[in-house]
């Protein structure tokens, strides 16, 4: 068999050539194959999945915060601090019986200037919010012998039939005069914002007197000089119609005991101290229908008032009363009044609104037992109180009623009695006077100024129109100030806690509160007192609802650092290992690729 041999051309390399190639290839710095990317892709896919999943993780722990009107809240707060509400008021003085000639057309303008200057002197310092001391107009009308002249500002604004006031008999009954003036002066005034308050000066030979009516006017009768009349008119304008007739010593601070939700609950309580002596009841439905409804309706723009009642038994007082032989009654000094209410026995807080944010005013009719009857309250000057009652600011009032059978021996089996309508009428007149005091008004019918002493007529509604105007203005100011303060506190709280949950309902309440506050400011600037009071009350109630929302009060909030410290032990180790593995794999891939490129460059160079 023939032997097959390779030709010289196909003979293998000589040994020295192979050794040279082995010496040229260094496995530490070279590799003959291209490095694979499977490990690199797998590692980076894990890293990318972590990067993509991080926003979803962040979204899952994100705190929802509805947008709040921080800038608008700050602007409202600054306006309330620097620029109080400016309620417009229009004051009109009518001079009747003062002689003037055809050449005295500037006399009314001179009187107007004098009244304005005198009013500025009565307004000392910064005028409190709720008054008309910084935004008012004055007009003067002079009427004599069916001729009338008006000041420049009074023309074409508040006109009435010339000579109508002169025809009124001011010597008649004050109530009749008041109604007659209302028919003459109570018309609408064109082109004026706000209410119009009038003082009529009747210069005639008659008994000197000054009366402040139950509408928006007053009148002064008697012989008076123009300078003296100007002084009296300016004082009535500023201290009565603008300030509401308030004096030093009345209730300060929160003048209106209205709850944060704009509600007042009048809780009337009939307390029988000892039912073993006698038991009294009342017809409260009749009381509410005929005596309380006018008061509730009158204060409607100021507060949402509800009325309730109850009768309690075995309710002794806590303080001690002593017998006065001269007065033939038991006497309770004013120093003992703070201890009169027996909190242990008087279960007064039974109202459904007592646990909420509504304000409950307790009005108590106390019927003493036979062993302390009659019971009278003694004033600091030693006189016996005619009303036989007292008030406790922001709490309510107490009236002590002594039955007619005080000096009779109690029956063995006490009979049921019902308080007569006549007695109820007197009792609730005292209660209405106490409500007037609780809201910051005078309980008597006398205004004593520096230049004038006036009698104030009472209204069957409990509040005159000018008193209600003053209450409405002051209540609007207080509510807007409370709204701005509450919203500012909420704004600072929310901005200080980035992890606080802000529900959509809170954002909606803040928005509605701001809208109501702006509406109240607009109505106040246009002199729409009732609408401004209602809007201001709504703004405060919404602001309080937003601040005390259950979602804010029920959750403990924590900072971002706390959140990071909670989640980092779970996710940081894994994330760190994934990142390190990706970096290590990328470094390895670059090194292996460099080896391959080095070997390939050597091969290309050798060929």
Complete DSSP assignment for 215-251: SSEEEEES---HHHHHHHHHHIIIIIIITTT--TTS-
Alpha-carbon distances of 339 from 342, 344, 396, 415, rounded to whole Å:
7, 12, 15, 30
pLDDT at position 511 is 92
Q: Could you count the other beta carbons within 10 Å of the beta carbon of residue 88?
A: 17
Cis peptide before 374 (omega within 30 of 0): yes
What tokens were used for 181?
A: 């003036």
Mean pLDDT for each consecutive 10-residue tract of the chain (607 residues)?
A: 43 49 68 83 84 76 78 88 82 84 72 88 71 82 78 62 79 87 76 80 85 90 87 89 67 61 87 87 88 88 88 86 84 82 78 68 89 86 86 88 75 75 90 87 80 85 89 89 92 82 88 93 88 92 89 63 75 82 87 85 80
pLDDT at position 409 is 63
Distance in angstroms (rounded) separating the CA atoms of residues 519 and 25: 90
Q: What is the pTM of this model?
A: 0.77
335 Cβ neighbours under 8 A, 6+ residues apart: none
Question: Angle of helix 560-606 relative to helix 38-60, nearest 10 degrees?
Answer: 160
Cβ-contact 236, 128 below 8 angstroms:
no
> Which of 221, 209, 239 lies closest to 94 in space, CA to CA?
221
The domain segmentation of the chain, as residue ranges, is 24-61+560-606, 89-242, 257-439
pLDDT at position 156 is 47
pLDDT at position 251 is 41
Distance in angstroms (rounded) separating the CA atoms of residues 569 and 449: 77
What tokens were used for 92?
A: 């009109």
């Amino acid at each position: 068999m023939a032997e097959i041999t390779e030709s010289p051309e196909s003979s293998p390399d000589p040994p020295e050539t192979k050794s040279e190639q082995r010496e040229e290839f260094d496995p530490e710095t070279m590799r003959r194959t291209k490095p694979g990317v499977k490990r690199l892709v797998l590692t980076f896919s894990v890293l990318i999945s972590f990067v993509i999943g991080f926003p979803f993780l962040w979204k899952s722990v994100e705190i929802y915060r509805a947008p709040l009107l921080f800038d608008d809240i700050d602007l409202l707060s600054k306006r309330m601090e620097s620029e109080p509400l400016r309620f417009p008021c229009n004051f009109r003085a009518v001079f009747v019986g003062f002689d003037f000639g055809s050449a005295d057309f500037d006399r009314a303008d001179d009187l107007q200037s004098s009244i304005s200057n005198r009013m500025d002197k009565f307004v000392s310092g910064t005028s409190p919010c709720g008054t008309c001391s910084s935004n008012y107009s004055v007009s003067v009308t002079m009427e004599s012998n069916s001729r009338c002249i008006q000041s420049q500002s009074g023309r074409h604004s508040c006109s009435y039939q010339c000579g109508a006031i002169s025809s009124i008999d001011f010597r008649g009954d004050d109530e009749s005069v008041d109604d007659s003036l209302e028919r003459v002066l109570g018309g609408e005034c064109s082109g004026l914002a706000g209410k119009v308050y009038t003082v009529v000066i009747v210069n005639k030979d008659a008994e000197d007197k000054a009366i402040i009516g139950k509408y928006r006017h007053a009148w002064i009768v008697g012989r008076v000089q123009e300078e003296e009349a100007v002084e009296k008119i300016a004082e009535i304008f500023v201290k009565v119609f603008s300030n509401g007739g308030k004096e030093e010593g009345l209730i300060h601070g929160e003048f209106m005991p209205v709850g944060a939700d704009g509600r007042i609950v009048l809780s009337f309580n009939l307390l029988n101290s000892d039912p073993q002596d006698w038991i009294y009841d009342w017809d409260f439905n009749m009381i509410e229908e005929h005596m309380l409804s006018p008061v509730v309706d009158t204060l409607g723009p100021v507060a949402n008032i509800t009325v309730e009642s109850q009768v309690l038994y075995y309710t002794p007082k806590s303080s001690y009363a002593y017998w006065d032989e001269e007065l033939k009654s038991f006497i309770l000094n004013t120093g003992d009044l703070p201890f009169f209410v027996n909190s242990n026995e008087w279960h007064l807080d039974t109202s459904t609104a007592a646990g909420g944010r509504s304000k409950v005013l307790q009005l108590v009719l106390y019927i003493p037992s036979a062993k302390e009857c009659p019971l009278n309250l003694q004033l600091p000057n030693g006189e016996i109180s005619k009303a036989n009652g007292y008030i406790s600011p922001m709490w309510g009032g107490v009236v002590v009623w002594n039955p007619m059978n005080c000096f009779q021996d109690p029956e063995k089996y006490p009979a049921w009695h019902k308080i007569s309508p006549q007695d109820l009428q007197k009792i609730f007149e005292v209660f209405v006077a106490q409500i007037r005091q609780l809201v910051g008004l005078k309980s008597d019918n006398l205004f004593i100024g520096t230049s004038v002493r006036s009698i104030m007529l009472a209204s069957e509604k409990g509040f005159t129109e000018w008193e209600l105007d003053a209450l409405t203005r002051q209540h609007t100011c207080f509510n807007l100030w409370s709204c701005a303060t509450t919203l500012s506190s909420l704004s600072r709280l929310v901005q200080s806690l980035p992890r606080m949950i802000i529900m959509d309902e809170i954002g909606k309440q803040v928005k509605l509160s701001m809208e109501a506050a702006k509406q109240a400011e607009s109505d106040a600037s246009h002199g729409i007192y009732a609408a401004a009071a209602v809007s201001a009350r709504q703004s405060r109630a919404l602001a309080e609802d937003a601040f005390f929302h259950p979602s804010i009060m029920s959750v403990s909030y924590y900072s971002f650092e706390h959140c990071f410290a909670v989640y980092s032990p779970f996710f940081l180790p894994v994330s760190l290992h994934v990142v390190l593995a990706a970096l290590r794999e990328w470094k390895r891939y670059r090194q292996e690729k460099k080896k391959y490129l080095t070997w390939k460059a050597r091969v290309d160079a050798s060929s």
